[in-house]
Amino acid sequence: MSVEVKIQDSISKVHQAQWNSLNENNNPFISWEFFNALEKGHCLGQNTGWNPAYMTVEKDGTLSAALPLFIKTDSYGEFIFDWSWAEAYGRYGVPYYPKLTVAIPYSPISAPKLLGSLSDQKNFLLPKLLEFYKNQNLSGLHFLFTNEEEAPLLSDIELMERDSIQYHWNREQCHSFEDYLAGLKKNRRKSIKKERRALKDTEIVLLQGNEIETSDIDFFYQCYLSTIEKKWSQAYLSLEFFKSFIQSKPESCSLFIAKDERGPLASALYFHSDDTLYGRYWGCQRDIPFLHFELCIYRGIELCLSKDLKRFEAGAQGEHKRMRGFPPTLTKSFHHLKHSEFSKAIGNFIEEERQALRRVFTP
């Protein structure tokens, strides 16, 4: 049997069906279509800070393991913040970039990054990754938002474990929106019912899959840009990306559009895997009280219930989610830094940070 480990600078050079066959949970963010849409939308590659180096293992020409690998020239779009690390390097005249990152670009999603056969990951993929990392002019190796199965593998190759926190809703025994409300404190239940009644004159339309038309995506993107503008942020994702992805993988997409007597005013886009709903993008062209919570929390829960999904990840950050039934959830990343002194100092920082984060879980 012949085994070949390859590094490709474009997902178009990787067999689409074979890559997707490694995506066991049909996670949209790890799909071939997602990376292809990012490339077509000019969100990866030159001048983006994300330079693809997809690593694959082929046995007799068939893909058996893979990972999404990127040479990063900045830290934008990662959501595991290491700007202070880069600044510390800079103060001592040591270059922090480029670095090697295994991640889903612009998406703080704890989806699998090590794909395919576990034995091939151990025997071929990770050794080749470490060889590539060692031989390149790279300051560090970073695995962002890993899942539980990957943690032991990354600990075995002596990467430092870093904790972070998101807020996720777990369906458990919930079968209806009333069940969801019953799990909250009485005052919060009353507040949510009041919030929803305040929107009685707002029509909310759900479009799923092929029901989403190009004009709907155009409107959504204007809403997305309005959120970016309000946050004084950067629009990492292009209109071409959203059109390409929604049209190439419609079965993973749901779009809510809110309207009133003046016409469409807000929208929220969701992706989902076989068991998890992801609320990532939203925007409102006019400020309407409570509409954000309606489109980004309550409609998401109802969507989760209707699709029989187990979990709802409503995006990074957001202490406000906790009071709405989204408990803090520990997420993990793993890091290695070539510079021994910086590695030691950052290791101490990670441990102090871990202790501080644990207090979030204290009632």
The per-residue pLDDT for range 311-362, each reduced to its tens digit, is 999 877 777 788 899 988 889 999 999 999 999 999 999 999 998 888 777 6
- pLDDT for 80 equals 94
Residue 230: pLDDT band by 50, 70, 90 thresholds?
confident
Q: For domain 172-309, say whether CATH 3.40.630.30 is its number.
A: yes
CATH class of 3-164+331-361: alpha beta
Long-range contacts of 43-46 (CB under 8 A, 24+ apart): 43/105, 43/106, 43/236, 43/237, 43/238, 43/241, 44/70, 44/105
Question: Would you call 123 helix, strand, or coil by DSSP?
Answer: helix
Buried b (16+ CB within 10 A) or exposed e, 90-123: eeeeeebbbbbbbbbbbbbbbbbbbbbbeebbee
The per-residue pLDDT of the chain, averaged, comes to: 94
CA dihedral 78, 286, 311, 301 (to 10 degrees): 180
CA distance 225 to 48: 18
Report the DSSP pairing between strands 311-316 and 160-170. antiparallel
Cβ 115 vs Cβ 54: under 8 Å: no
Task: Domain ranges for the chain, please list them.
Answer: 3-164+331-361, 172-309
300: left (phi over 0), alpha (psi -120 to 50) or beta: alpha
CB 270 within 8 A of CB 305: no
Share of the chain above pLDDT 70, in %: 99
Q: Averaged over 81-88, what is the pLDDT? A: 96
Let me know if the fold of 3-164+331-361 is the same as that of 172-309: yes
Range of weakest confidence among 14-23, 49-58, 73-82, 350-359: 350-359
pTM for this one? 0.95
